[in-house]
């Protein structure tokens, strides 16, 4: 694949290594427009990024013609079919949809609005809630690590803003959808979530592609700041399609958990021509806790590059990370998970595990857990596995009357199910299962070939 390149002599020096954000941020009191201007200057001087993973291969955007892509504005109104199909009959607490460069639909339960909850485009929030936005916007995100990051900070339009005030408990999820449905689109997205103390809520973000053929770009920022004692359940579902869509996704996601707060964050990656995401969770105050679960499933010639960070910035914090992935076709998938415990963060306790399943003789998978511990009196450990479908399990199920395809489907479903059920959202769980089954059906010949080759 053009995007998965071996590191040649000299190339490593030009590539960017994987590093945590670790406290860096552009939101240092400057206004949104001041940050835009600084990001534009960075965009004009930076080159298209190449990232080096572990010295063996790189993720590069050298084959993507950025000049051929542009933001596509549309008239507001109506929810695209790809969103209604994904959400089904769910009744969310609020729904915001951005199509291309334009927020086309916003709705919020009036009772929640009366309690001070805000769901709006980020553009509207800059005007209507300037102090709240200025305090948090890009507080922990940067704009000068690479060209696409700068582009997101300089060119974002629409965007999503969610504010849940102190003590507000919301049972139904807030749903945010970013849709690309036209080739040649460059979508620069930004979601900002701000929660007060002792709030309790759920937010779901969907990245979806409509029917089109050709290249497109989603460059996104997601940032969430959770107040003391707040509990949040965050889920991301990314499915950029596989029927001619060639969507490149370069995004950075960050969440900060306050004192005695808790966050469960579950990203689901189910499709994209090339995806490079940085996902970072910070337990930033004593008593904060996070649970990070994730799934990926690559097919055909997709290229997936995930880097997650479990960052412990103070002591007496806890974390737990579990990722599971599968690869079919000639896809390439790599997951690197980093635990970082900074100086002075004694009595931090955390664990990271990553598991990957090979379903094709042509697929390549890397699982790279790592640790940086800069203090004592902590417990931190990690583990990683790359494996295959257990043929003895397949044989047993076939002896009970299942076809080979049915047996593999049951095994793969069972492999992912412990994470799927933690979504704790019946509609989203059903959607994830359906799309995993669709990928398995499309890859049946590859899976059979892999079994025959062993």
How far is Cα 453 from Cα 423, in angstroms, rounded to an integer?
36
Q: How many helices (H) and strands (E) does the chain have?
A: 11, 22
| Domain enclosing residue 323, as ranges | 4-389
pTM of the model: 0.94
Tell me, yes or no, whether 149 lies in a domain: yes
pLDDT class of 51 with cuts at 50, 70, 90: confident
Tell me, yes or no, whether 426 lies in a domain: no
Tell me, yes or no, whether 424 lies in a domain: no
Summarize the confidence of residues 252-276 as an average pLDDT: 97
Tell me, yes or no, whether 438 lies in a domain: no
Task: Name beta bridge partners: 263.
Answer: 232, 290
Tell me, yes or no, whether 66 lies in a domain: yes
* Coil vs helix vs strand at 81: helix
Tell me, yes or no, whether 403 lies in a domain: no
b/e map 325-335, b = 16+ CB within 10 Å: bbbbbbbbbbb
How far is Cα 223 from Cα 192, in angstroms, rounded to an integer?
5
pLDDT class of 371 with cuts at 50, 70, 90: very high
Tell me, yes or no, whether 370 lies in a domain: yes
How far is Cα 322 from Cα 382, in angstroms, rounded to an integer?
10
pLDDT(339) > 50: yes
The CA-based dihedral angle spanning residues 328, 234, 432, 335, taken in that order and rounded to the nearest 10 degrees: 10
Model pLDDT for residues 59-82, shown as the tens digit of each residue: 988 778 999 999 999 999 889 999
Number of domains in the chain: 1
Tell me, yes or no, whether 329 lies in a domain: yes
């Amino acid at each position: 694949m053009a995007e998965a390149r071996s590191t040649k002599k000299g190339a490593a020096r030009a590539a960017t290594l994987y590093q945590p954000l670790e406290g860096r941020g552009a939101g240092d009191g400057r206004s949104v427009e001041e940050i835009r201007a600084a990001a534009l200057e960075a965009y004009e001087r930076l080159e298209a990024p190449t990232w080096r993973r572990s010295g063996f291969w790189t993720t590069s955007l050298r084959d993507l013609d950025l000049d051929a892509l542009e933001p596509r504005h549309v008239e507001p109104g109506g929810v695209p079919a790809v969103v209604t199909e994904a959400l089904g009959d769910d009744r969310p607490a609020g729904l915001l949809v951005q199509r291309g460069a334009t927020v086309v639909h916003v709705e919020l339960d009036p009772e929640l609005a009366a309690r001070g909850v805000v769901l709006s485009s980020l553009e509207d929030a800059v005007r209507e809630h300037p102090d709240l936005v200025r305090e948090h916007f890009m507080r922990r995100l940067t704009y000068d690590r690479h060209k696409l990051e700068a582009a997101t900070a300089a060119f974002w339009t629409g965007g999503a803003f969610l504010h849940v005030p102190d003590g507000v408990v919301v049972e139904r999820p807030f749903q945010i959808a970013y849709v690309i449905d036209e080739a040649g689109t460059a979508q620069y997205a930004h979601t900002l979530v701000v929660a007060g103390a002792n709030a309790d809520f759920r937010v779901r973000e969907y990245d979806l592609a409509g029917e089109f053929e050709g290249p497109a770009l989603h460059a996104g920022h997601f940032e969430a700041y959770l107040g003391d004692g707040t509990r949040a359940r965050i889920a991301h579902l990314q499915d950029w399609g596989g029927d001619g869509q060639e969507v490149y996704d370069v995004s950075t996601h960050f969440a900060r958990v306050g004192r005695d707060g808790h966050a469960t964050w579950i990203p689901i990656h189910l499709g994209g021509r090339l995806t490079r995401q940085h996902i970072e969770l910070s337990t930033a105050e004593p008593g904060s806790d996070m649970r990070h679960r994730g799934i990926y499933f690559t097919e055909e010639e997709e290229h997936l590059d995930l880097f997650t960070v479990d960052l412990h910035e103070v002591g007496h914090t806890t974390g737990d990370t579990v990722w599971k992935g599968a690869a079919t076709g000639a896809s390439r998938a790599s997951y690197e998970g980093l635990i970082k415990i900074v100086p002075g963060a004694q009595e931090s306790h955390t664990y990271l595990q990553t598991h990957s399943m090979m379903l094709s003789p042509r697929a390549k998978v890397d699982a790279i857990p790592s640790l940086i511990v800069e203090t004592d009196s902590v417990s931190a450990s990690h583990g990683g596995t790359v494996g295959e479908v257990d043929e003895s399990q397949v044989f047993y199920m076939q002896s009970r009357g299942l076809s080979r395809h049915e047996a593999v489907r049951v095994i793969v479903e069972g492999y992912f199910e412990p994470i799927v059920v933690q979504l704790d959202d019946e509609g989203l769980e059903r959607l994830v299962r359906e799309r995993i089954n669709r990928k398995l059906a499309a890859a049946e010949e590859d899976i059979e070939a892999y079994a025959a080759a062993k």
